[in-house]
Amino acid sequence: MKLEERLFLDRFNVHEENHLIVDTSKCTECSLKPCTFVCPVDDYNWDKGKLIISYEGCLECGACEVVCPFDKIRVTSPPAGKGVNFRFG
Amino acid sequence: MHADGEKFDAIVVGAGPAGTTAALTMAKEGMRVALLERGEYPGAKNVFGGVLYRWPLEEIVPKFWETAPLERQIVDQRFMVMSKDSGLLMSFKVDGKGKAPYNGYTAIRAKFDRWYASRAEEAGVMLATSIAVDDVIEENGKVVGIRAGQGAENELYADVVIGADGVNSSVAVKANLRSAPNPDEVAIGVKEVIELPAETIEARFNLRKGEGARMETIGCTHGKMGGGFVYTNSNSLSVGVVILLSHLMELQMKPYQLLDEFKSHSMIEPLIAGGKAKEYSAHLIPEAGYSRLPRMYGNGVMIAGDAAYLCSYPEGTNLAMASGMMVGKVALHAKKSNDFSAKSLSIYQKMLDESYVMKEMKRKSSSHKQLIQNQRLFGVYPDLVGELLADMLHIDSEPKSLKHKRAIKKFRQKVGVLRAIRDAYSVRGMAP
């Protein structure tokens, strides 16, 4: 199953502001770039020497924050019930 | 929330199994409790691949199975050793004879957590949803309240703050009870809920009407610590894969690639065939183990459930509820003497140590370290089991005596007798 199809299954109440606070100053020094593969929805992509971050499909698991070798990712909680709302969970 | 001096006896952060249990325990005895949940409803941010056990829920809501939104009673517990193209499945079933109560049930957490939190509301708890707590308020070295955003209108005060806000707890971190997790302290789980008719599930899993099965699998995580699972709900299956985050980093794979591989395995594909995917979810699971448990309390603060890393595969919600109940009892005790200092709350640690929760965490302690360090357990052994059995059970003109010799040689080459004995002994704590 494609990731896009998977994300289409979930209910999101998208917040206008990105709740993933990322300081990209160390990304070029980071050889492994674990955020680009541990994220279960591919919210982090390395493209032409830059980290492209999307947040709309974020499942709020927090893995990106845990794996960042430079401790530069903060996953804050989307306010007021925004973000993903699991109907099964 | 008001900053006009209104103060609760207790603030509980997180309306999951730990938080709701704590809130309910306190409110039943007359404490004024605010239960804050960041989701739109309790369960909105929770993910579960597991079983709700009767204990300790039964102590909190007697005969819960008569009213709670449960899915199936678990009668069949399955364990599978998988290699890329084989599977050895063991199933153990106890005839439930169609009579409640059962030892465990599957549940849809978005339904169950809502139901459970409304039991707390009935007991007088003030439940507030869509409130994301991001900090604690400290005065003179004591936690006196929480913040859920900027400004005084987003502050709330209480005698005691209980952090039941899950594995990514802000309360535990901001109150300096632990730091944020390291990659070798948490696993990531990715899961799909796949819809199928009840009769199809019962036929595929050899179940009577209403009965349920759980299946835990090793050998599907490229030799790394983790596994796959299938849980039967009423009209759906919960199918997922779990892997230690530091090991996923070594693999450099995407977690959903592991899920795709698991779903297409010959032992799993027929179980989910024709099903309709309904939800995709992900969550972190505490895997810190006994030796890296946080401080459980401080001045004016206690933590419970995943926030306190009280999770030990395959158990979690039971440990969350048990610790939530203890936190509630300790708060009630502290209320009597109006002393919420760390010294007064330290009985929580004593209660935990004497309970099933900590005894189970401790029992699994050394095995847990082995599972993380010893990469044979999730790769070499499952592959070897598949390889040897496939050879033995393949009938052709070759004499069996030769096959046996080859099997012994292979086993000696890949593992060795003494090492196998040592490995088996090292994970004895994982015995059920």
| Structural domains of chain B, with CATH | 7-71+108-180+289-363 (3.50.50.60), 186-286 (3.30.70), 367-430 (no CATH)
Return the ∠ at Cα B6 (arms to B2 and B9), rounded to 5°: 125
Paired strand residues for B280: B192
Q: Say whether pLDDT at B188 is over 80.
A: yes
Three-class SS state of A44: strand
For residue B228, which amino acid is it? G
Cβ-based contacts under 8 A for chains A and B = 135
Q: How many CB atoms lie within 10 A of CB B273?
A: 11
Of the pLDDT bands very low, low, confident and very high (cuts 50, 70, 90), residue B4 is low
d(C-alpha B351, C-alpha B367), whole Å: 24
Token pair recorded at residue B41: 């409803």
Task: For residue B259, give the DSSP letter.
Answer: H
Q: What is the pLDDT of residues B89-116, one digit of tens each?
A: 999 999 988 888 999 999 999 999 999 9
* Contact between chains at B245 and A67 (C-beta distance less than 8 A): yes
Contacts of B10 (CB under 8 A, 6+ apart): B22, B23, B26, B31, B32, B33, B34, B158, B159, B160, B161, B162, B331
Task: For residue B267, give the DSSP letter.
Answer: T
Out of A10, A13, A81, name the one closest to residue B279 (CB): A10
Nearest-CA distance A9 → chain B (Å):
5
Q: What is the pLDDT of residues B311-348, one digit of tens each?
A: 998 899 999 999 999 999 999 999 999 999 999 999 99
Of the pLDDT bands very low, low, confident and very high (cuts 50, 70, 90), residue A1 is confident
d(C-alpha B356, C-alpha B230), whole Å: 26
Give whole-number Cα distances, B18 to B86, B225, B356, in Å. 39, 26, 15
CATH of A3-84, one of 3.30.590.20, 2.40.340.10, 3.30.70.20, 3.40.50.300: 3.30.70.20
Paired strand residues for A24: none
Tokens 């007697």 sit on residue: B62
Of the pLDDT bands very low, low, confident and very high (cuts 50, 70, 90), residue B2 is very low
Tokens 């009985």 sit on residue: B347
d(C-alpha B135, C-alpha B126), whole Å: 20
d(C-alpha B360, C-alpha B106), whole Å: 22
Of the pLDDT bands very low, low, confident and very high (cuts 50, 70, 90), residue B5 is low
Token pair recorded at residue B122: 């009935």
Token pair recorded at residue B231: 């849980």
Domain extent listing, chain A: 3-84
Q: Which one of A6, A30, A38 makes the best mutation probe of the B interface by having the most chain B beta carbons within 10 Å?
A: A38
Nearest-CA distance B43 → chain A (Å):
7
